[in-house]
Amino acid sequence: MPRFLAAVTGIVLAAALPVCARGPGLPGAEPVPGLDVQPTHLRASAAASHGTIAPGGRFHVAVDVRIDDGGVFYSPMPGEIARPARMEVRADGLVVGEILWPPDRRYETDLGAGENMVNHVYKKRAVIYVPLTVPPDARGGDRSIAVTVSGQICGEVCVDVKASASAVVTVGPQSVPNEAWSAELAGGLARAVPAARLPSARRALEPGEPAAPVAPAGVAGLTVWAGLGLAFLAGLILNIMPCVLPVVPLRILSLAQMAGRQRRRLITLGLAFAGGIVLFFVGLAVLNVFLRTAQQAFSISVLFQFRSVRVALAMVLVALSANLLGAFNVVVPARAAGPEGGAGARGREHLASAGMGLMMAVLATPCSFAILAGALAWAQVMPLWLGTAAIVVIGLGMACPHALLVAFPQLLDKLPRPGRWMELFKQSMGFLLLPVAIWLIFAGSDDAYPGWVVAYGVVLTACLWIWGTWVRYDAPLRRKLALRGPAVVLAVLAGYFMLRPAGPLAVGFEKFSPEAVAAAHKQGRVVLVKFTSATCLSCIYLDRTVYNDPAVAAEIIDRDIAALKADTTDADTPASKMLRERFRGAPPLTVLLPPEGGTPIRLDGKFTKSDLVEAFDKSARK
């Protein structure tokens, strides 16, 4: 039977069925005769993003719609023969923008005779956003915003529904955010789209349950200034990352030497260097705009899911290490570095300085840790302009110390005078870079033990170098013990920790696959998916503090939870695809998937054992 005739037949039958009829309600069916619009199946509440808003300011009202269990509420663009959702807004002199809807989900109805009807719906909950603008000439005082959501819910039968809610904002001299505007609401706003764009938004999510980007608990409630402060602090700390630290003092000294006594030249070279750092983060901010516009979450860890990127960066680190160890030197021509250098030479010199700053920012990325991840996570749940600005602020934080040093040249005078210590320090930094390069090369390998062995070889070589180079043969015994003793201790301790094969975690994880998830759900089991990566330092922290705890392992066994390890080190694995398309996050991320299509419970970033057990309790109630 053609689909259209099947649909019409279904609608006619639905209109004739009594209220107690069994089976799923048919999409687009007329309400059951005798039933009025039902307010009980749909409930709504509203919250404004600001408590006070200045004239000319823009804000949003989030309308949180709750849907009865077992029912589906059709979206504003549902598809075939279904009544679309609608939103009416009365806004007391405010200008109402285009309504923003959360991505909907696919829903199929069996019409019989081998025919299915496909629609798009919301289940349990949908948060709809109303953009509002205060006219520039608006007078002060309270403004009431009343909203009404209407549409159709189908379960055993189809009924028309309507729910209303309201919020109040104050027009005042200065905009003040609403403390009740949570990170969850901000994240939902980042993903909401006009009704006409729902088809493109849902293509990025299907198959699977849509999930909003969520900030870790430690940063979810940060204010705007606190979040930007965290971003600036993250940039400052990048200067002491193991990949960057070797370059910082040498670059400062080279700037001073290249500039000579010309203060103006010192400042311009230093600003060019700082500008190169900021340029890298501006590029990341532009990438963030494109990804957020395409309804994707930005994560710097995505760059390291490609083996070619990891290997290329490892080779850069090896080259820098060889330079620091004295294998080769980069010499600036005298005519370019000296005062007599022409404008072209000075231009090339400034371009080279900016390139060195850009390279330093690139080197910071594999060694970044939780605070950078927290700043980026906070940026993802903020409005697009604020999240993008936060990424640029990270670059400003990293560039700040370099700009200050050249702005106040007297600080350079406090550095120790060049001598043998400088050569030893430079070579030490060269040894420090090599383990990072080895880590990047072996990341993603099924057996990480060879990488640990090679890294220990570097540590042992560095210890032998300290033994033979840092102290002369005729030095006093006390000096020999002071320098060689720590080298021996380092070699022994590093061998003890690095040459032992890693044992299994207390929690016994199986390898992730969609088939393993489906099999566990078929048995009615909750599935724990641990998204991890070999390049994720926070993942190692969670393994040691949470997943290696016997009590956590016992909880998983007692609750019969299927624990799966989803390695996302490489971009082309099923785990990476699910993380990218369904959960839009970055490792470390733990997700609990209740059976029978329950709402996933996610734990982003670092968390504690009690947080995990609490998530277990929630998943059991889904």
How many CB atoms neighbour CB 431 within 10 A? 19
Q: Of 357, 355, 369, give the one whose Cα is nearest residue 241.
A: 369
Amino acid at 392: V
Q: Which residues, in sequence order, are bridge partners of residue 511?
A: 565
Q: Which pLDDT tens digit goes with each residue over 363-389? A: 776 655 555 665 666 666 566 777 788
pLDDT of residue 205: 44
pLDDT of residue 337: 43
Q: Which pLDDT tens digit goes with each residue over 198-222? A: 876 664 444 444 444 444 444 445 5
| SS3 state at 73 | strand
**Of 54-63, 437-446, 572-581, which one has max mean pLDDT?**
54-63
Q: Which pLDDT tens digit goes with each residue over 133-170? A: 999 888 889 999 999 999 888 877 788 889 999 999 99
Report the alpha-carbon distance of residue 143 to residue 91 in Å, rounded: 7
Read off the pLDDT band of 46 (50, 70, 90).
Answer: very high
pLDDT of residue 246: 61
Residue 619 tokens, joined: 């998943």
**Of 318-332, 415-429, 515-529, which one has max mean pLDDT?**
515-529
The arithmetic mean of pLDDT across residues 328-347, rounded, is: 51
Please report the domains of the chain, with CATH numbers, ordered by start residue.
3-191 (2.60.40.680), 224-313+326-415 (no CATH), 510-621 (3.40.30.10)
Residue 13 tokens, joined: 């039958």
pLDDT at 502 over 90: no
Read off the pLDDT band of 346 (50, 70, 90).
Answer: low
Residue 389 tokens, joined: 């600005």
Token pair 């082309």: residue: 572
List, as one string, the DSSP characters of 520-571. Answer: HHHTT--EEEEEE-TT-HHHHHHIIIIIT-HHHHHHHHHTT-EEEEEE-SST
More confident site: 583 or 112 = 583
Percent of the chain predicted with pLDDT > 90: 14
* Contact in structure between 440 and 454 (CB atoms under 8 Å): no
For residue 472, CA distances in Å to 326, 478, 479, 483 come to 20, 12, 9, 11
* Contact in structure between 492 and 449 (CB atoms under 8 Å): no
Q: Which pLDDT tens digit goes with each residue over 556-601? A: 998 899 999 998 888 778 888 888 777 767 788 899 988 866 678 8
Token pair 């700390």: residue: 237
Terminal Cα-to-Cα distance of the chain (whole angstroms): 39
pLDDT of residue 251: 63
Percent of the chain predicted with pLDDT > 70: 72
DSSP, res 67:
E
pLDDT at 22 over 90: no
pTM over 0.85: no
Q: Give the side-chain half-sphere CA count within 13 A for 35.
A: 21
Q: Which residues, in sequence order, are bridge partners of residue 115?
A: 112
Read off the pLDDT band of 489 (50, 70, 90).
Answer: very high
Report the alpha-carbon distance of residue 57 to residue 174 in Å, rounded: 9
* Contact in structure between 164 and 44 (CB atoms under 8 Å): yes
Q: Of 85, 93, 96, 86, give the one whose Cα is nearest residue 61.
A: 96
The arithmetic mean of pLDDT across residues 456-463, rounded, is: 90
Q: Which of 330-334, 382-386, 421-425, 580-584 has the lowest mean pLDDT?
A: 330-334
Q: Which residues, in sequence order, are bridge partners of residue 170?
A: 52, 142
More confident site: 50 or 18 = 50
| SS3 state at 511 | strand
**Of 41-45, 251-255, 260-264, 489-493, which one has max mean pLDDT?**
489-493
Report the alpha-carbon distance of residue 591 to residue 612 in Å, rounded: 10
What is the average pLDDT score of the chain? 76
pLDDT of residue 602: 84
pLDDT of residue 27: 40
Token pair 């997700």: residue: 591
Read off the pLDDT band of 505 (50, 70, 90).
Answer: confident
pLDDT at 323 over 80: no
Amino acid at 460: L
Q: Which of 58-67, 110-119, 169-178, 251-260 has the lowest mean pLDDT?
A: 251-260
Q: Which pLDDT tens digit goes with each residue over 60-93? A: 999 999 988 878 898 898 876 678 899 999 988 8
pLDDT of residue 210: 40
| SS3 state at 185 | helix
